[in-house]
Each structure stands twice: as C-alpha cells, then as structure tokens.
Amino acid sequence: MEPEIRTLKKEDISAIVEISKTTWGGHDHLPNIIDEWIENICCHPYVLVSKNEVIGVANIRIIDDGMTGWLEGLRVHEKARNQGFAKQLTDHLFIVAKQLRVQRIRLVRSLESEAPQRLADSIGMNQIHTWKVFWKDVREVEWRFDGIQISEIQPNEVKGKLKEFPELIAMPDNPNPFSHSILRHWDLYETTDENIEDLAKHSSYHFGQSDIGVVFSIGGIESSSYVPEWCFTLYATNEDAFLSGLSKNLELAREQGSNLLMCIHQPEFTHMYDSVDWLKERNHDISLTLHERYFTYE
C-alpha cells in the first residue's frame, strides 16, 4: 500500500517529535512550533502515513496578507529517507499553494544541505538570496563597540526607517522590486504594517544612524534544546554599523538573561569574524538561502 498524505492531527505530534530527534543534530525547533500549525488557520500542515505510521510532515503557511505560501518544516523519518517521500510532500504543498492561489511560494534552507536544493529546483523555485547564521555562547564574552548609538524603535517607525534606507534589507536578485522583506528567525515577512505589528509581539526593533553608517535589527528570545537564545537579524550598511549592531544585541541578550546568540546577517560581513576575538570560534554556523517562485493565474 502506497503512503498517503493527510492533514496533521493533534495525535500525530508525538510521532513528529520522534522524527525531529534525528534532524539538526537533535536540536530541531519543530517541536516548538508544531502546536501552532494545528491552531493557526493560516497553516496547512500535512503528514505522510505508511502502514498507519507517520513517516513525514510538512506545512504551508499563508502569510503577507495571502500573498505568500511559506513552505516549512519538511521532515522525513530517518528510516524512510532517500525513497522519494520528501518529493511527494513537496509536490503536495505545491498543489495546495496553487489551489490557495497565492502569488508566490517561498522557503529557506541551509546551503550546506543539498537535498532541499533539489526539491526547490523540482518545483521551479529560484535561489534569491543568502544570509549567514552563527550561534555563539557568550557567557565569558566581555566586549563592547560604540561606533553608532542604537536605540529601540516602535513598530510604527519601522516602515519609515526602512523606506529611508532601502539598502539595508535589499536583496539584489529579488525579481520583484516592489517586494521588501525582513527575516525573523527562520521566517521572511513582507514589511506590511500588519506583519511589523505582529512581529513586535515577540520581538523588538532597534535602529541607529550616524555619519559612520546605518544599522537595523529585529530580535527576540527563542527556545532551544539547551537554553533560551537571543535570535536576531542584523542589517548594516558597513563594518562599523555591523559591529555596533552586534554589540547592541549582545547587550540585549544579557538584559534578557540569554547567554546564547543566534545571529543572522548579510554575508558580506562574514570576514568580520576574524576581527572580533570572541567570534573567531563559534558554536556553529550555516548559510541560509531563500528560494522563491511566482505564479500567474488566468
């Protein structure tokens, strides 16, 4: 009997948690968000079932006022990998996206993993942009860089700042010049008023500008398998702005009682790791790549 795809149910969660134990070295964030998939009407989660056993899961979340179908959480049980089941789930999400008539589908993946690249290619998605991500335990870090004064800004100020300095969040290969997005944790959101307000429920925005440069960040506490981590995306116009933003978020992490940083940033600042002593060695780092495809409908 061929495996079948059906809607995720609450009783499937324990099986999903089991699958996640062999993903990302056992540090998969999926168990932290699986309940939301069931409760959020914008989520359309599915499982792949074989012989009454859940062997795969994936979700498409509708965001950006219905514009975007965000593909996420694709997982297959380790004993069922390399058998085409990930492709089966991907194809299903692609069909659902078109049925929901979204304008585009998006996903992010670790550049170090080739399988998601092949899946994205198989449904005609293009590689659009790449960010760098690093994790660092900062318990023993004593460091400060005061190049630019940075302060918290309110959600109603964010859009104006990003409009004034569009280069901060620019993605040069973005096929839609009217689309402007910010990355928060593993998710990319269009900079609509609604999204900016919603993100502020669990995040804070910080901004600074001077003759030296301009810096913007969005950050908040995320749960991890070890300790709460301060996860932030850092946008900067130059090296001094990058270091200023890094220093500010180190301070914010301390204020929130977190000793673990997860920093997402533009790849052009990767070389700065060698100029900051405590960044020369990191707990882990990856490249995070955005894939995208637009649809047209008759």
Same domain, residue pair 162 and 228 = yes
pLDDT band at 111 (very low <50, low <70, confident <90, very high): confident
pLDDT of 58: 97
| Structural domain contains residue 108 | no
Same domain, residue pair 178 and 95 = no
Calculate mean pLDDT across residues 163-176.
92
Same domain, residue pair 45 and 169 = no
Same domain, residue pair 58 and 155 = no
| Structural domain contains residue 119 | no
- pLDDT of 196 > 80? The answer is yes
pLDDT of 125: 98
Instruction: Report the chain's mean pLDDT, rounded to a whole number.
Output: 94
Calculate mean pLDDT across residues 232-255.
98
Same domain, residue pair 166 and 46 = no
Calculate mean pLDDT across residues 172-190.
91
In this prediction the pTM is 0.93
Same domain, residue pair 257 and 203 = yes
pLDDT of 225: 60
| Structural domain contains residue 98 | yes
pLDDT of 175: 84
Output the six-digit token pair for 93. Answer: 């999400």
pLDDT of 281: 97
| Structural domain contains residue 297 | no
Same domain, residue pair 91 and 149 = no
Question: Tens of pLDDT along 113-149?
Answer: 788 899 999 999 999 999 999 999 999 999 999 999 9
- pLDDT of 261 > 70? The answer is yes
Last residue of a domain, one of 102, 118, 150: 102
| Structural domain contains residue 242 | yes
Same domain, residue pair 145 and 236 = yes
| Structural domain contains residue 113 | no
Calculate mean pLDDT across residues 255-277.
97
Same domain, residue pair 145 and 95 = no
Same domain, residue pair 88 and 222 = no
Question: Tens of pLDDT along 6-36?
Answer: 999 999 999 999 988 877 666 778 888 899 9
pLDDT above 70 coverage of the chain, percent: 98
Q: How many domains does the chain have?
A: 2
CATH of residue 89's domain is 3.40.630.30
Same domain, residue pair 92 and 189 = no
Last residue of a domain, one of 55, 82, 102: 102
| Structural domain contains residue 116 | no
pLDDT of 26: 64
The region of weakest confidence among 16-30, 63-77, 192-206, 245-259 is 16-30
Same domain, residue pair 138 and 93 = no
pLDDT of 82: 85
Provide the domain limits for residue 75: 4-102
- pLDDT of 271 > 80? The answer is yes
- pLDDT of 1 > 80? The answer is no
pLDDT of 177: 81
| Structural domain contains residue 111 | no
